[in-house]
């Protein structure tokens, strides 16, 4: 039996939202909380559905990352993967990932967070990543998302576009929010908030 394992990232594998943790990583505490206070109206509009989650996320990233050279940004992402990310990975989730790897199971992280700060960590474990991609213009991060935010149905679109599902006898998926439901529905075995 050939198995495919699909994992959401934020909240499923991690204890905290990596977007906010990455923003802290590139900012001093004073600057971080100042920018967060500026974003309060944006968060409010998102909660009331007057602003799309994708647009709200772009405004957040434009404020924290917009204008950074892609080379510098990726260096910061690499440091984040080495220094901060291991501290917020759920221990039970890491054990599950390692067990799949020991069994030579094809394992993917499918995430709404940008691939830049997931891939350096995931690739060390031999895990592939399908996630949100960031727009780059003139070798600088704009803060905008390239295409669609990898959440809800877009997760399934990415999976089907990059993986030949007919090769697998069994699909197992892990998630923790409504944004993961389409991916969970794709699987034979579903795990909702399994490591919490």
For the stretch 112-151, pLDDT in tens is 999 999 999 999 999 999 999 999 999 999 999 999 999 9
Kindly indicate the confidence band of residue 154, based on its pLDDT and cuts at 50, 70 and 90: very high
pTM of the predicted model, to two decimals? 0.95
Domains of the chain by residue range: 3-192
Pick from 101, 132, 105: which is nearest to 116 by CA?
132
Q: What is the pLDDT of residue 80?
A: 98
The encoded tokens of residue 97 equal 């990932």
Q: What is the pLDDT of residue 146?
A: 96
Residues 6+ away with beta carbon under 8 Å from 161: none
Whether residue 13 has pLDDT greater than 90: yes
Q: What is the pLDDT of residue 77?
A: 98
pLDDT in tens, 16-47: 999 999 999 999 999 999 999 999 999 999 99
Pick from 123, 91, 92, 120: which is nearest to 107 by CA?
123
Whether residue 175 has pLDDT greater than 90: yes
Residues 6+ away with beta carbon under 8 Å from 184: 173, 175, 190, 192
Whether residue 1 has pLDDT greater than 90: no
Q: What is the pLDDT of residue 35?
A: 98
By percentage, how much of the chain surpasses pLDDT 90?
A: 99
Angstrom distance (rounded) from CA 178 to CA 8: 11
The encoded tokens of residue 54 equal 């994708």
By percentage, how much of the chain surpasses pLDDT 70?
A: 100
What class, spelled out in words, does domain 3-192 have in CATH?
alpha beta
- Mean pLDDT across the chain, nearest whole number? 97
Whether residue 155 has pLDDT greater than 90: yes
- Strands 106-114 and 3-7 come out as parallel
Please tell me what DSSP assigns to residue 69.
B
Q: Is the Cβ–Cβ distance between 26 and 76 less than 8 Å?
A: yes
Q: What is the pLDDT of residue 4?
A: 98
- Strands 3-7 and 128-137 come out as unpaired
């Amino acid at each position: 039996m050939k198995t495919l394992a699909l994992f959401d990232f934020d909240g499923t594998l991690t204890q905290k939202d990596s977007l906010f943790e990455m923003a802290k990583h590139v900012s001093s505490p004073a600057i971080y909380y100042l920018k967060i206070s500026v974003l309060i109206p944006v968060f409010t509009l998102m909660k009331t559905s007057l602003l799309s989650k994708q647009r709200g996320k772009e405004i957040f990233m434009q404020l924290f990352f917009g204008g950074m050279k892609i080379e510098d940004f990726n260096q910061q992402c690499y440091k984040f993967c080495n220094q901060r990310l291991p501290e917020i990975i759920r221990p039970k989730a890491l054990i599950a990932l390692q067990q799949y790897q020991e069994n030579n199971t094809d394992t993917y992280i499918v995430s709404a967070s940008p691939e830049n700060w997931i891939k350096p960590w995931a690739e060390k474990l031999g895990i592939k990543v399908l996630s949100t991609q960031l727009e780059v213009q003139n070798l600088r991060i704009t803060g905008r998302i390239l295409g669609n935010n990898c959440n809800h149905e877009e997760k399934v679109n990415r999976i089907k576009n990059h993986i030949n599902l007919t090769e697998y006898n069994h699909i197992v998926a892990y998630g923790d929010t409504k944004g993961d439901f389409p991916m969970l529905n794709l699987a034979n075995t579903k795990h909702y908030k399994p490591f919490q």
